[in-house]
Structure 1
Amino acid sequence: MKRTALKIGYIGTNFHGFQRQPDVRTVEEELIYHLRKLGYIDDLKKSRFRIAGRTDAGVHSLGNVISFQSDKEVQVNEINNSLPDDIQILAKAPVRYAFKPRYAQMRQYRYLLFQDLDIDKLNKVAEIFKGTHNFTNFTKRFQKTTTRTIDDIKITKVELGDYHKREFPNLHETIAPIFVDIYGESFLWNMVRKMMRVFVDVSLDKMSLDEVCELLNPSENSPRANIKVMEAEYLILMDIEYDGIKFKYDEYACRRFKRDLVDSLDNLQKRYAIRESMIKSLDDLI
């Protein structure tokens, strides 16, 4: 019986998060259903089915990880042919029996900001967040320890490429996104989305850098700060890395998922055109 880890790509729009919940569609439930259907697993306990992270409703992924053991050799594209288009296996790796995907060496999250923000201020906030801090103000739950380490934060203003301008001509009227890539071993629930609220508030002069420092160094008896989370749909779990484990990406699976993403962009453009036409008609009526 071999143990295998799989990297999962998914579009979170139509899921109520990753973790199984009664009567709603989740990524984990879809994966378990199709792995059972194809004979890879039966009893979850016996197969030692494990997951790396529980992303919230609306959050996307290119690198979440599951692992399980099976007598059957894992065929990535057999699983992908069974799965719906908004979930696909992108890579696999053989792992030891005791492997637990929860214990990663590095996680990378990317948040996309679409406002016209001051990059210099965003970089100053990033420098404050780097390192080890008490993130109790950046989670909804009370946990045993809220100390976490941010290894790096990279801020990138993305220029819209020629492909996007050609296929989606109206995009030149929008603000080019800002990528905020955050690297760390582990994160608290809602931590990244609350961090992004602080980044935006500082850039818009709604919060000072000194106030950011205070949020990361709360006194023992101070009440938890009320930081409103940013929208889930702009967050992507980009990757999860493990010491000594090398995932092999399936070229066909990656091309297939990319094609599905491009097709969904085309559908979005058509919906955009319908709404734009209706707006223009209302303007003409007025």
Structure 2
Amino acid sequence: MRFAFKIAYFGENFHGSQYQPNQRTVEGEILKALKKLGIENPRLRSAGRTDTGVHAYGQVIAFNSEEKIFPRILNSELPEDITSWAWAKIPDNFDPRRARSRVYTYIMYGSGYDISSMRKAVKELLGVHDFSNFTKKFGEGESCVREIYSADIRADKEFIIFEIEGNAFTWNMVRCIVTAIMEVGKQHRSIDWFKDLLNPEKYKERVEPAPPYGLILKDVKYDDVEFEIDDYALKTLHSRIEKRLIYHGTLFKLFSMFRQT
């Protein structure tokens, strides 16, 4: 039997999601947990790779198991910075990478941004574009053309929230887009410059990625998979999130008392 699971993780203590020998990764920890559950050859696959420091709420993994596995069972063998919370039984040939779309959210902190200009830039992302200027270079002949279904940016007190949904994303693509949007928001660069970045055949400029800690893989969507939420596992995840909110929120408030205004 083959199963798909939705998992969340806090990315700061992982060297990315993809398995790497002698490094702590999300897939590496999941493989350890599956082995403890007696699953020796799970054929583990993920919907996509996330870099060091990037988080996830709705990452999707798939693996084989002779016995039915529920999220709370997998969680019993996982570390606290990874939590599975929904599952589905899937066909044996299911590949989680063949998703309809992926949704990412990036949080920026700060003030003084021109939000109106940032919104104009974000609208330019919609549709099909070559994102070569927004990615680490792929191998020769590999395409960086992707389709963006929706993109939005809004201010929320001291934070700016950027959300984007597309059929797929290249390496560092979202973080590089964020850097470019911030340059527009700071009025260091123009909307025309942002448009030029989306036309790499005529204009080439390597955009550096924004820091990874502000990025989360929010969701991965499929046309033919119905995930069943494990209520107990979801409560476990929300409890773990709440603990982090209290800890980091307290630190934020504590040290913000001493910053210069």
* Letter paired with 1:182: I
Distance 1:271 1:113 in 2: 18
Which consecutive unaligned segments of at least 5 residues does structure 1 have?
160-174
Runs of 4+ more than 6 Å apart:
none
- Are 1:30 and 2:29 an aligned pair? yes
CA RMSD of aligned residues (A): 2.0
State the match for 2:232 in structure 1: 252
- Cα displacement (A) at 1:256: 1.0
- Are 1:232 and 2:230 an aligned pair? no
State the match for 1:63 in structure 2: 58
TM-score, scaled relative to structure 2: 0.92
- Are 1:206 and 2:222 an aligned pair? no
Distance 1:126 1:184 in 2: 13
- Are 1:83 and 2:78 an aligned pair? yes
State the match for 1:149 in structure 2: 147
Distance verdict in 2 for CA 1:276–1:183, change over 3 Å: closer
Whether the aligned pair in 1 keeps the contact of 2:86 and 2:229 (CA below 8 Å) is: yes
Distance verdict in 2 for CA 1:78–1:134, change over 3 Å: same
Name whichever structure is richer in helix by fraction. Answer: 1
Distance 1:31 1:185 in 2: 26
Distance 2:243 2:229 in 1: 22
**1:238-268: per-residue Cα shift (whole Å, max 9, x none)?**
0001111111121211111111121123333
TM-score, scaled relative to structure 1: 0.84
Which consecutive unaligned segments of at least 5 residues does structure 2 have?
none
State the match for 1:15 in structure 2: 14
* Letter paired with 1:150: I
**1:87-131: per-residue Cα shift (whole Å, max 9, x none)?**
000110111111100111010000001122222112101111111
- Cα displacement (A) at 1:54: 0.8
Q: How does 1:176-191 map to 2 (within 5 A)?
A: 177-191=159-173
- Cα displacement (A) at 1:275: 5.4
- Cα displacement (A) at 1:48: 2.6
Q: Per the alignment, in what secondary structure is the counterpart of residue 179 of structure 1?
A: strand
Whether the aligned pair in 1 keeps the contact of 2:71 and 2:86 (CA below 8 Å) is: yes
- Higher CA-based Rg: 1
